Amino acid sequence: MKRHSLIALLLALSAFALLGGCKDAPSGGSNNSAGGKKMTIALLPKSKGNQYFATVEKGARAAATELGADLLYDGPTNTDPAKQNEIVEGWVNYGVTVIAAACENKEGISAALKAAQDKGIKVVTYDSDTTTDARSFFVNQATAEGIGNTLMDEAARLTGEEGDFAIITATLTASNMNEWRKHIEARLKEKYPKMKLVDTKPCDDQKDKAQQEATNLLSAYPNLKCLMAICSPAVPGAAEAVKQAGKAGAVKVLGLGLPSENKAYVKDGVTQSVILWKVEDLGYLTIKAAAAVAAGSLKAGAAEFDAGKIGKMEIQGDNVLLGKPFIFNKENIDGFDF
């Protein structure tokens, strides 16, 4: 018995050794050099199970088909930084031409991406950036200024540029949302003198709390014309509060969120506008930019990038900008499923 198990163990270990023994076959490089061969673009989502990234993939496939490039799309089933690293390390070995990554954990993945760069693989990021030394460009779906201005302009349009409005945010310390609020307030001051921001309430990124806060705001400010929700759970939360108060249409609701989460309220006329970017275009632009970086036609210092059917995109520093956010409303929301 013991002799056999020891032999089995030795066999197992020698199998490992065998695997290691046949190493140093001509490594990756030969079939991913830019010239002639078909380009292989690898696209990493934060999680495969998310409708948002499924929509990104749709746009990415369209771009890859147009470019005649192979597209590898793989990611963790749920957001899992360990799995993201493993997938990137697998791609390096596979010998892809360029990697486009949405990073679940900025620092966690940057070393893996840097290792890819060391092997001559180009790296761009989209949706969520990594450290700047681990990629050449970040495809930025929306700048803080773009989001802030669009929210404020849309609130002004809905209220006829007149009256009181209130903001519901996630927390008063969330840095990205504070950045948006800064731009909202600057735009308000600059362009809409007859509008007044009466209050800003946090909802801790919870729908129930947002609904509670919205109900309180509605009774505290009877002249309120508009509720602006700038974190995604707050948009349906605010809508539910307005609906239950019987003020649908009288108090406008708009916010930053996914069309799918707000479809019912938009169709009922409770929520007027949902603001986000065109997610499919984000996938399309990412692949176009990744291919251009790999081919050497998009280099540091460029001011503009021609993304084919979605137009010319502005570049700020090392950010390729997707352009203005998109407004989803009663007329167009049915056409989107993320």
Question: Is 20 a residue that touches another protein (CB under 8 A)?
Answer: yes
Neighbours of 173 (CB within 10 A): 9
| Site residue total, another protein (CB under 8 A) | 46
Candidates 91-99, 132-140, 158-166, 203-211; binding stretch for another protein (CB under 8 A):
91-99
Task: Lay out the site mask for another protein across 106-135 (x = CB under 8 A, - = otherwise).
Answer: -xx--x------------------------
**56, 63, 92, 327: which one contacts another protein (CB under 8 A)?**
92
Question: Is 171 a residue that touches another protein (CB under 8 A)?
Answer: no
Cβ nearer to another protein, comparing 4 with 222? 4
Distance, CA of 296 to chain centre: 25
**33, 34, 51, 70: which one contacts another protein (CB under 8 A)?**
70
Question: Is 303 a residue that touches another protein (CB under 8 A)?
Answer: no
User: CB of 280 within 8 A of CB of 165?
Assistant: no
Question: Is 18 a residue that touches another protein (CB under 8 A)?
Answer: yes
Whole-number minimum distance, CB 308 to another protein, in Å?
A: 22
What tokens appear for 212 in the block? Answer: 């509670």
Cβ nearer to another protein, comparing 6 with 250? 6
Question: Is 8 a residue that touches another protein (CB under 8 A)?
Answer: yes
Give the list of residues 6+ apart from residue 124 with CB closer than 8 angstroms, or none.
Answer: 98, 99, 100, 101, 135, 136, 137, 138, 139, 286, 289, 290, 293
Type of residue numbered 203: C
Question: Is 16 a residue that touches another protein (CB under 8 A)?
Answer: yes
Give the list of residues 6+ apart from residue 85 with CB closer than 8 angstroms, or none.
Answer: 108, 109, 112
What is the footprint of another protein within residues 28-47 (CB under 8 A)?
28, 31
Candidates 21-29, 121-129, 176-184, 235-243; binding stretch for another protein (CB under 8 A):
21-29
Whole-number minimum distance, CB 201 to another protein, in Å?
A: 22
Whole-number minimum distance, CB 120 to another protein, in Å?
A: 13
* 143 burial type by CB count under 10 A (0-12 exposed, 13-18 middle, 19+ buried): buried
Question: Is 6 a residue that touches another protein (CB under 8 A)?
Answer: yes
Q: Give dist(CA 171, CA 72) in Å, integer.
A: 37
User: CB of 111 within 8 A of CB of 86?
Assistant: no
User: CB of 141 within 8 A of CB of 256?
Assistant: no
Question: Is 73 a residue that touches another protein (CB under 8 A)?
Answer: yes
What tokens appear for 8 in the block? Answer: 């089995």
Whole-number minimum distance, CB 295 to another protein, in Å?
A: 20
- Least Cα distance to 255 among 335, 157, 147, 137 occurs for 147
User: CB of 238 within 8 A of CB of 169?
Assistant: no
CA-to-CA separations, 232 to 78, 237, 259, in angstroms, rounded: 19, 9, 10
Question: Is 22 a residue that touches another protein (CB under 8 A)?
Answer: yes
Binding site for another protein (CB under 8 A): 1-2, 4-13, 15-16, 18-20, 22-25, 27-28, 31, 48, 70-74, 77, 80-82, 85-86, 89-90, 92-95, 105, 107-108, 111
